[in-house]
Amino acid sequence: MLSGSRVVRRRLLNRRRLCCRCYSDSPLRPPQEWLEGKAVRGQWDSEDNSSEQSERPLLQRRRVFSGIQPTGVPHLGNYLGALRQWKLLHDSSANTKLLGDTKHDQFFSVVDLHALTSSDVPGHVRRKLRRESYASLMAIGLQNTQQTTLFFQSDVKAHTELMWILSTIASTGYLSRMTQWKSKLNLSDDADLHSDEATAKLKLGLFSYPVLQAADILLYQATLVPVGADQIQHIEFARSLARSFNSHVRSRPESSGNVFRVPWPALSAAQRIMSLKRPTQKMSKSDPDPKSRILVTDTREEIHAKIKGAITDSEPGISYDPEKRPGVSNLIDILRNVTSLSLAPEAIAKDLENMTMRGFKEMVADNICESLEGVRDRFEELMNPSNQTLNMEAEEGAKKARRVAIRTMRSVKNSLGLESFCASSNMWDREMIRGSDPDHATSGDFNTTIRYVRTNDGTADAIQEALVGVNKQSFPVDKPNTNKSE
């Protein structure tokens, strides 16, 4: 039998292996060689970049973008499905021994503009939900560092600006085949824009939601987007827009190559967590019963009470059968994910088959409490009105995100002949770009200029650090002037 202490030890032992389990082995997952920074030959490369080379070093940098809607405090399903992976990416990107010569960074956003497509929410409620969402991300251990940018989508106006530009090349036929707007309106999958029900309910914001999502990703030149299986369709749409835009600008005589990197989706390996009260439905904040979900800020007593009241069955022993025993199977999946056990759920159930249901639920609750230890205390500290840490962190994240967004928008506008004739606008852009972005790179007139900085290790190391940001696609780089430093 697998004891509670043994489960904890297994979780601690497997914590080091989590980085290898962040993403699934799905065909839509980037090759492992790419994740490790090695050269790779395959369909993703040849499909996205028209180049004479069929093999090239791909991962000189891995840049991740991911967002979460401001629904308030996340539940356990949100944490295991996405937020824990964010934390792992955040921690691993600062580990130079783990990364070697590669350079990884990530942009995590509270996508509050996307939330406007939902039902009407009073302003004071939306403000509270946004603050709770950002505080929750900080409470699980995320913060702005050289490698991580944590920000509100609405603080960076370039998101909506790029969305409009991408809308001019987005296909309404493609958008009409998207399933999300249909599911949001409770329409059948075969519904189209010609149906009276669709035209009566559908709003432009919901219909063009994937265009804004594509702008979110492409604005930061993301190479990897962790998503659930239901979002794969949207990532492929973003890839399609990136390819279309690159092809459009490459055809011009003055073109200097691609503007956008083409992102890859990465499926989370976490099993979907189901409702504690309706184990055939996924855990959701929209469920009217608060006992159906565990929030990351729940107290130990609340977690134990909710797991104790979770719907199971009267069959003796523990076994894994999602169809016949969905409640028990859901608790096994929760145990497996919070402890990061590499065993199959059937093997875990076999090890626990002689436990009583009461003992099993207590074990699950204990391990959930341990995995969320400290989150509630940090959250309450950040939500204290007298604590300005959250405000300062949001401001820092917005500044970092704007610097990258401005560079991308400058390249986009230049490629379309929309560069500004206003000296004040160009000067503001230069001032925003100058500073703390880890790339130390600015772009203008289709050229990428490396900004070199002094470091304790000397100029050569600073140049090497800057060069790792050069992407595989056609972003020309000026030759460094070793006689100057900034």
- What residues are labeled active site? 184, 282, 285
CA atoms within 13 Å, Cβ hemisphere of 181? 27
Instruction: Provide the token pair at 159.
Output: 């998101």
- Given a contact cutoff of 8 angstroms between Cβ atoms, the answer to whether 120 and 486 are in contact is no
Query: How far apart are alpha carbons 247 and 5 in whole angstroms?
Result: 57
Residue carrying the six token digits 């703390």: 436
- Backbone dihedral angles phi then psi of residue 244, each to the nearest 5 degrees: -65, -45
Instruction: Provide the token pair at 264.
Output: 């890859």
Q: Are strands 56-57 and 148-152 parallel, antiparallel or unpaired?
A: unpaired
Query: How far apart are alpha carbons 251 and 249 in whole angstroms?
Result: 5
- CA distances 297 to 1, 72, 136, 369, 379, Å, are 30, 11, 8, 10, 7
DSSP bridge partners of 271: none
441-462: b or e for each residue (b if 16 or more CB lie within 10 Å)? bbbbebebebbbeeeeeebeeb
Query: How far apart are alpha carbons 181 and 263 in whole angstroms?
Result: 23
Residues shown for the chain: 486
